[in-house]
Homo-oligomer: A and B are copies of this chain.
Amino acid sequence: MKHKSKNIPGSIVAPQGFLASGVFCDIKRLGTGKGSNKGKKRDLALIVSEVPATVAGLFTTNQISAAPVKLCVERVKRGRAQALVVNSGNANACTGRQGMKDALEMTALVARELHMPVGQVLVGSTGRIGVNLPMANVKAGILEAAQLLGNDTAHAAEAAEAIMTSDTKPKQIAVEFKLGGKAVRIGGICKGAGMIQPGMSPTSARPAATPSGLHATMLCFITTDAAIEAKPLQTALTEAVANSFNRITVDGDMSTNDTVLVLANGLAANPKLKTQNSEFKMFQSALSHVCPELAKMIVRDGEGVSRFVTVRVKGAKSFVDADAAARAVANSPLVKTSWHGGDPNWGRIIDAIGYSAARVVEERVDIGYSSPGAKKILYSLKRGQPTKATFKKLCAAVAAKEFNLHINLNLGKSSALMYAADLTEEYVDFNKGDVSDPAALGG
């Protein structure tokens, strides 16, 4: 079902009954001089529902997962939550027992300030790995954020800013649609930039069928005033994430902290959504619009990214094959550098397909390009052989900032896509870090 929603402002506070705030509390301890906080990027966000909400979540399948991930996995199982506190600048990952104590303390502080059960509070972190949180700063931030909660677009934007790390801009969306005559809204914010190839599952455990190539920290927080139980909410989120956040890659590295959470507080008073009823499908459709829009913002704003490429593989023997071929191409350093240079180097593309785990037959492979939204595909390769398309025309196709790469294996009926980015000198320069300034090194 095609979604019939309209975009509205306000992201996470667009749905009824949600409040947000974002503050600077100096998580990276850049300096705590009084009065010096003006203009500094916010680093702690609070998102709160006025009434208890149902909750669903997906989490990194990295075997090394951060304390906030471990805590959320447990609390989301209960299906109910009302608040969420998120810091940037420190991932609280590989921080041992103190890390879990700190994550618990963050939720306890929120619960005390907002007068709610601690079990109703969730937590997220992103930033450097292996450093304990500066809890005095975090505490001051939580107290301030709790005072500053509001439901206008400025508050949502402050929360979106607070979760950013190497992102160059905040990422927000909200949509409105009708369910059983009632206006329902879904809003979301997210962050990404580097260490981006999420592979998330509801329990953080790796499913047997998880493609081998799963790998920023990406965080996404979604709010909705839809009335929906936790179980169908989880079903809808899992479906939406499978076709969005789990289909993106910037650098192929899967983070210890990837998290997507959705809170549904029911204030829209729509008829309860059950999987299989048509209203549920409409909700699914809207959520399945919101998630890829946010996911694509992450790829476009990835570290050093200059090209956004949608890799579309079809004609594979199975989804696992289609996925393997798409990920091999999307993560090949040689393919990614050729995109950066605007070089339509199909040799590198077919090379990557050939070493992937997918079944491939050289004489069957088609490779082509299209502009976003256009139907016409310009083929560089048909059945394993170069077409008559001129080098100049092919260069023009890959010179665009955004294009589709079409690969048809012509062996079966399965398909998969990946939202991918190029590899640039800027990515390398950014991530090689500055060892003269350990605090500035990314996690």
- Chain A: residues with CB nearer than 8 A to chain B? 61-65, 91, 93-94, 96, 128-130, 194-195, 199, 212, 214-215, 251-256, 332-334, 337-338, 340-343, 345-348, 350-355, 357, 359-362, 365, 381, 384-386, 391, 395, 423-425, 427-429, 431-435, 438, 441, 443
Contact status A347-B214, CB under 8 Å: no
Contact status B384-A195, CB under 8 Å: no
List residues of chain B with CB within 8 A of the CB of A348: 129, 195, 253, 443
Q: Which of B96, B347, B365, B438 contacts A93 (CB 8 A)?
A: B347
Known: A351-B253, A362-B94. A341 touches B423 (CB 8 A): no
Contact status B350-A94, CB under 8 Å: yes
Q: Which of B65, B347, B357, B438 contacts A129 (CB 8 A)?
A: B347
Contact status B441-A345, CB under 8 Å: yes
Contact status B333-A128, CB under 8 Å: no
Instruction: Report the minimal beta-carbon distance from A199 to chain B, rounded to whole angstroms.
Output: 8
**From A385, which residue of chain B is reached at the shortest CB distance?**
B96
Contact status B386-A343, CB under 8 Å: no
Contact status A354-B395, CB under 8 Å: no
Pairs A–B under 8 Å by Cβ, sample size 21: A62-B354, A64-B360, A64-B365, A65-B354, A94-B350, A94-B362, A129-B346, A129-B347, A130-B346, A130-B350, A252-B332, A252-B333, A253-B334, A253-B352, A254-B351, A256-B350, A333-B427, A333-B431, A337-B431, A341-B432, A345-B443
List residues of chain B with CB within 8 A of the CB of A435: 341-343, 395
Contact status A431-B355, CB under 8 Å: no
Instruction: Report the minimal beta-carbon distance from A267 to chain B, rounded to whole angstroms.
Output: 38
Contact status A255-B351, CB under 8 Å: yes
